[in-house]
Structure 1
Amino acid sequence: MAGYGDDAKFNAWMASNGYSLPDGGVAVAVLRQRGSDYIDGLYGSRFSGQPTGGFEQERAWPRTGACAHGQPIPSDVVPVAIEQASYHAAYQEAVKPGSLTIAVTAAGALKRKKIGPLEKEYFEGSGDAVADGTLKLSAVEGLLAPFFSIALPAIFVV
């Protein structure tokens, strides 16, 4: 599998944003792969259109029938914002290895614990342990938002 973009573009993106990779980290290509996996895994089903190469296509992009800002996206194009979102995720993985993958339990996080007379209180979650434990990066969310399918409510005429 190949991550979105390429190593040279990723390095240029980091330089233009004032980022640098930690010493002794994994290869840039591996980081791009992990960032791209994060984008496709978390957001792939929300993108408009469908993969141009069908269900066997290794990445969510390029897509057929996709649009952003009211404009169609050619079926052979991976938008720059998709690449940049994957670079943000790759950089997150570089500075905090493993942060893009989660392992959770359904148990709530302890908010308060009182020793005598025994009292515990847990934070309330959404009921979806995976969603509650998934890292969301605001820069990624902002870059990807224009590419999401929008489910419009049904309008009933009486």
Structure 2
Amino acid sequence: MAGYGSDNALKAYWDAAGYTYAADAPFAALRQRGSAYIDGTYGLRFTGQPTGGIDQERAWPRTGATAYGAALASDLIPTRVEQASYEAAYVELKKPGSLSISFDPAQRVKRQKVDVIEREFFEPGDNGNIFAPNAPVSTIIEGLLAPLIGPVYGLPAIMVV
């Protein structure tokens, strides 16, 4: 499996952002993890569909994808997608395993009471974080991908006035 971009582009992006990393960091593995996170978290929200269909390894390139109302080429992997995967890779570098959170929705604490301490568990379908409640959320990644994603299915779109 290959992550978006290249090791050299990843290092150049991190350098430009002022991020620190070891010269022997596992760059290819970090790119893979960052790319898997982007595809898994945002893949269903990207416009269009993978050009190579279900057997395509990554979510990009896509057919029918748009950004800012304009059609994107069906062989394009947007720079924003690569950069978002580099941001995710840096999150993984700084806190290994943070991009692959496993959780049991039935064990999400909403409230429980023990004497004066109370905890309650979220029921399936309760809002909170609709994805993985302990998964990291990066405003940088959200901002990079904003032109490429649609609303979360089942939730109302946010209207900007």
On whether the aligned pair clears a TM of 0.5, the verdict is: yes
Preserved CA contact (<8 Å) 2:110 2:119: yes
What is the TM-score when the length of structure 1 is the normalising length? 0.82
Look up the equivalent residue of 1:3 and give its one-letter code: G
Matched, 1:48 2:21: no
Partners of 1:127 and 1:86 lie apart in 2 by 25
Matched, 1:68 2:67: yes
For 1:57, the equivalent position in structure 2 comes to 56
Q: 1:80 to 1:122 in 2, by over 3 A?
A: same
Look up the equivalent residue of 1:59 and give its one-letter code: R
Q: 1:64 to 1:129 in 2, by over 3 A?
A: closer
For 1:12, the equivalent position in structure 2 comes to 12
For 1:108, the equivalent position in structure 2 comes to 108
Q: 1:129 to 1:103 in 2, by over 3 A?
A: farther
Return the offset for 1:118: 5.3
| 1:89-128 correspondence runs (5 A) | 89-105=88-104, 106-109=106-109, 117=115, 119-122=117-120, 126=127
Cα deviation, 1:34-63, whole Å, max 9, x if unaligned, reads: 000000011101100010111100000000
Larger radius of gyration: 1
Preserved CA contact (<8 Å) 1:104 1:130: no
What are the ranges of 5 or more consecutive residues in structure 1 without an aligned counterpart?
154-158
Q: 1:56 to 1:107 in 2, by over 3 A?
A: same
For 1:133, the equivalent position in structure 2 comes to 134
Return the offset for 1:112: 7.7
Return the offset for 1:3: 0.3
Preserved CA contact (<8 Å) 1:22 1:94: no
| 1:142-153 correspondence runs (5 A) | 142-149=143-150
For 2:159, the equivalent position in structure 1 comes to none
Moved more, 92-101 or 118-127: 118-127
What is the TM-score when the length of structure 2 is the normalising length? 0.81
Aligned residue pair count: 149
Preserved CA contact (<8 Å) 2:107 2:121: no
Preserved CA contact (<8 Å) 2:103 2:132: no
Moved more, 120-129 or 76-85: 120-129
Look up the equivalent residue of 1:120 and give its one-letter code: E
Quote the RMSD (CA, aligned, Å): 2.6
SS of match in other structure, 2:133: helix
